[in-house]
Chains A and B, each alone.
Chain A
Amino acid sequence: MLTLSFMRHAFVASTFIAIVSGFVGVFVVARNLSFLTHTLSEIGFAGGAFAVFIGWPVLNGMIIFTMLSSILVGQMSIKESRREAVTSAVSALFIGLGILFLSLSSANASSATNILFGSVVGINLTEVWQLIYLSIVVILIIFAVYRQLKFTSFDAIGARVSGLNAALYSVIFLIVLALSVSVAAQIVGSLLIFILLTLPAASAKYFTHGVAKMIGLAILFSLLGTWLGLFLGYLTNWPVSFFIAVIEVGIYCCALVKQKLSGAA
């Protein structure tokens, strides 16, 4: 299987995506941003469709759209009570834009399905390097603000009292999230992006208590899903995204059962 260059590319790309997802997902879960992550994936779809429309690489369109809109959504929904409504409105707008750009472009239906559901086995070496660079940028940003991000994500009140600028770290995180959505969309597609950015981290919190340990475990669960998904996709010729979704949901269900059993003990 690894003698095939496209499978090698897929494995390298999915490894970096899994690592980024593990890092970022822990903060997505802590900040209750799963819905926004889902919306960003739809915005990524619109960005990808826009890129197809004007003849850019899909990743570039996704990055521009997700970064601009994540800051916009973040600023519009500073009041938590209106976060869901704002997120829904932005989501609706961008799905509409995505459909418009696709209908205006001469691209065929497979462009849309690639953006929506991912195309990791179709990824070339240049795209692999682009993914690696972006992944390194995301991880470096997280390292640089790790302590502050951790405090503002897991204890917003304590962080505010200690003088941390919560709004600043929120914007930094939204930019990191937008980059991660664009990176991860390459493998699972924009519709299934929230799988890798939410489920491994959500599962990890039932197995350990500590941010670093949660990140480690979330990376492990992401790697398990993406590697096994690629392997099963190769064997069956079924979509890789389907296997990743099933594996990650399976891990999450195991985590819930484990939590229920330990609660009953």
Chain B
Amino acid sequence: MSIVTVNDLTVAYGNHQVIDNLSFNINQGDFLVVIGENGVGKTTLVRSMLGFIKPQKGEIIISPQTKIGYVPQFRNIDQEYPLSIRDFIALNVQHSFLPWLRTSERQRVDEIISQTNLQKVADRPLGLASGGEKQRAYLAQALLSNPSLLILDESTASLDNEMKYELLDLVTRFQQQGLSVMFVTHDWDLAQHYGTRFLQMTGDGYLTGPINELPRPEKEAE
């Protein structure tokens, strides 16, 4: 069942066209990898899907029951960031007029902390966390609101190899429980390892199909 359908999407910044007539869909349970070099419009696609950018043409149909969680590439978290990892995750518990968390809400935060292997560091400042811990905290915050589609935008870009696989293994565990995933990356090895469906974005157009049938750029193929 399709949860997101993108039809003839065209997005431009002024006169600069970034996405030109892109169409694809995401089915429930997919681990869709959107792969492409820098500058082909991957992040623009994500921002359009999140409603941050209005397309010039085309449509993005998101099924009414689909809730999106988003793990961006960057977040402006410096070393002096004044929240602990637990507090950062709990920011996404918001539907109440009570200033403090109810017991059930605290339990849900603890549960997600445990599922993302952050128990030992949950009370440490987020600003001092390692790159991998930060990404898991962003993931935990996004998962807290029980999304049905998780969008990861180059979330592994700043991680070392071990941490990349650790993060995506974790995401796969949630995907196996029914979460749909859209993973945006330029890393072909990760794409091959985790993806179930693929969309390649290039400067010349868009391709879908099994990853071994997509044209891998020369420098990646080496």
A→B interface (CB under 8 Å): 30, 143-144, 146-148, 150-151, 154-155, 157-162, 164, 204-206, 208-212, 214, 259, 263
Contact = CB atoms under 8 A, between A and B. Distances in A.
Interface stretch (B20-28, B86-94, B177-185, B214-222): B86-94
A13 B99 CA distance: 25
Contacts of B125: 209
Contacts of B97: 143-144
Interface of B: 50, 52, 68-70, 72, 75, 79-80, 82-84, 87-88, 91-94, 96-100, 123-126, 138, 141-142, 145
Contact of A155 (B68, B91, B96, B99): B91
24 contacts: A147-B96, A147-B98, A147-B99, A154-B88, A155-B75, A155-B141, A157-B75, A158-B70, A158-B75, A158-B91, A158-B138, A158-B141, A158-B142, A159-B91, A161-B68, A161-B69, A164-B94, A209-B82, A209-B87, A209-B125, A210-B83, A211-B83, A211-B87, A259-B80
Contact of B80 (A151, A206, A212): A206
Contact of A151 (B79, B92, B100, B142): B92
Pick the most buried of B72, B80, B87, B93: most chain A CB atoms within 10 A of its CB: B87
A259 B123 CA distance: 18
Contact of A162 (B94, B100, B124): B94
A156 to B, nearest CB: 8
A210 B80 contact: no
A75 B100 CA distance: 30
A148 B198 CA distance: 36
